[in-house]
Amino acid sequence: MKHDDEAACCGGGGEPAPGMSRRTMLRATALGAGAMTVGGVLLPSAASAAPAIYNPFGAYPITDTWEGHLSRGSLGGIDFGMGVGTALPACGAGTIQNIPYNGTGGHTVTIHHADGYRSQYMHLSQFLLGNGASVGAGAIVGRSGGAAGADGSGSSTGPHLHWHMINPAGTRISPLVYIGQNPGGGSRQVYEAASNNAWRALPISGSAGAVTGSAIAPILLGTTKIVYSLNGGRIYEAASNAGWQNLWTGVQGAQGTALAAVNLNGVKLIYNVVDGYVHEAASNNAWRNLNTGIGGASSSSISVIQLGGVKYVYSIVGGYVHEAHSANAWRNLSTGIPASAVAAITVGTTKIIYTVNGGSVYEAASNAGWRNLWTGISGVSGSTLAAMNVGGVKHIYTSAGGFVHEAASNNAWRNLNSGVGGSAVAALTLGGVKLIYAS
């Protein structure tokens, strides 16, 4: 399938944006302050750091690479295969400029980022926002197209999205190379993968844009899947029955990657770490954040379970796993198990915790006096760890080498790569189907 993206289609491959003279660009650069208007679009003022960009299209196959574009005379781009009408999240914050019938590129949306960087999406079937609209990362800016001969497809001969960036000098650059050179910018998008579709990862995004976070905690409310994510110290909620619309709970101040959630008799509960203390917020008190009094907790990892109506919180204090529960006024007790990450499940009335220590995963159970046993799983990176009980089989999910791995008690804890990318991971089960959430 041929996707022509020659110089004429780019609206800026080596040239200023439409409506901007080179003199205007140079003058703005020399002044180094204030916003400027280009083709009726108010652009962001210059910034001292490169803007934060993420890849919203990681779940879609690359059908033509940057190098492939260059080899056939294009100024560069990356093509992602996707059906016509797919929602296109903004890869970063900025200001929108729509360019209808942009040569061989067809309908093109340009996102003007800070510091003179631009991103362009080509071959769109629909624009969704007006010129000059301000967007945040993940906001839906248009819908993909590319069907041969369709309105707005340009020279495309098949459904796909073409994406490239343009630097302040007006030269096209690869978005994936840019992201690799500017790591850590912005939040990571949350993906869902299910065991019954070979773990195919799908981005969670709704009308409000992408669900993003540095930590994830999913729960079930009936058959509704609810995801809590931590983004910039704020906790957000998104639900499958609301199209994953991302809503701020009003809970803020959360630190690190410590986030846990549980459904207790229909009441949704969130746990996070603020200034070394574990806090609890509940949906039936308008998410009012309350200090449990559990102090000294690391902001890297916490876990929560409920057993017989009692809430149990597991946190890491001074390098050891501690247990506290609501029936003892949250009195914090050391289990004596060293760890950098913790996850908890129940099997009958037995409480089981999984921990990471030195890159290896261990299991300990309350009915064995928390005796720590190595599962044989090693090579785990970071502080992310998830576990769940699926029909009596214990499952562990970890991140290693940027991918989520699964191990189960009925396969002697053999570690298997799910093929789902991510450095933060959570899991739940619905109707026997295992679900992984990763970012």
In the prediction, which pLDDT does 205 show?
Answer: 78
Q: Answer for the pair 300, 341: CB distance below 8 angstroms, yes or no.
A: yes
What residue has token string 């804890």?
Answer: 413
What three-state secondary structure class fits 409?
helix
Structural domain includes residue 219: yes
Neighbours of 373 (CB within 10 A): 10
Task: Please tell me whether residues 142 and 26 are part of one structural domain.
Answer: yes
For residue 237, give both structure tokens: 């909620």
Task: Please tell me whether residues 236 and 291 are part of one structural domain.
Answer: yes
Cα 174 to Cα 176: distance, rounded to the nearest angstrom: 5
- The CATH code of the domain that includes 82 is 2.70.70.10
Domain boundary among 126, 153, 181: 181
Task: Please tell me whether residues 262 and 401 are part of one structural domain.
Answer: yes
Domain boundary among 141, 160, 181: 181
Helix (H) or strand (E) holding 67: helix 66-71
Cα 103 to Cα 35: distance, rounded to the nearest angstrom: 28
Task: Please tell me whether residues 213 and 159 are part of one structural domain.
Answer: no
Q: Answer for the pair 322, 284: CB distance below 8 angstroms, yes or no.
A: no
Structural domain includes residue 144: yes
- Count of domains forming the chain: 2
Q: Answer for the pair 77, 133: CB distance below 8 angstroms, yes or no.
A: no
Q: Look at residues 408, 400, 280 and name the one whose alpha carbon lies nearest to residue 341.
A: 400
For residue 217, give both structure tokens: 């905690």
Structural domain includes residue 1: no
Structural domain includes residue 2: no
Task: Please tell me whether residues 127 and 146 are part of one structural domain.
Answer: yes
Q: Answer for the pair 337, 321: CB distance below 8 angstroms, yes or no.
A: yes
For residue 155, give both structure tokens: 């020279």
In the prediction, which pLDDT does 6 show?
Answer: 44
Domain that holds residue 132: 7-181
In the prediction, which pLDDT does 30 show?
Answer: 29
Cα 234 to Cα 222: distance, rounded to the nearest angstrom: 26
Neighbours of 389 (CB within 10 A): 16
Task: Please tell me whether residues 220 and 310 are part of one structural domain.
Answer: yes
In the prediction, which pLDDT does 288 show?
Answer: 93
Cα 308 to Cα 292: distance, rounded to the nearest angstrom: 20
Domain boundary among 148, 181, 214: 181
pLDDT tens digit at each of 439 positions of the chain: 444 454 434 333 333 333 333 333 323 332 233 333 444 444 433 333 577 787 878 768 899 999 999 999 999 999 999 999 988 888 887 899 999 999 999 999 999 998 899 999 999 999 999 999 987 767 789 999 999 999 999 999 999 999 999 999 999 999 988 877 765 445 678 999 999 999 988 888 765 567 888 899 999 999 999 999 988 788 999 999 988 988 889 998 888 889 999 999 999 999 999 989 999 999 999 999 999 999 999 888 999 999 999 999 999 999 999 999 999 999 999 999 999 999 999 999 999 999 999 999 999 999 999 999 999 999 998 788 999 999 999 999 999 888 999 999 999 999 999 999 888 899 999 999 999 999 8
Structural domain includes residue 186: no
Nearby residues of 77 by Cβ (< 8 Å), 6 or more positions away: 5, 64, 66, 69, 122, 162, 163, 164, 172
Which residue type is seen at 203? P
Structural domain includes residue 75: yes
- The CATH code of the domain that includes 209 is 2.120.10.70
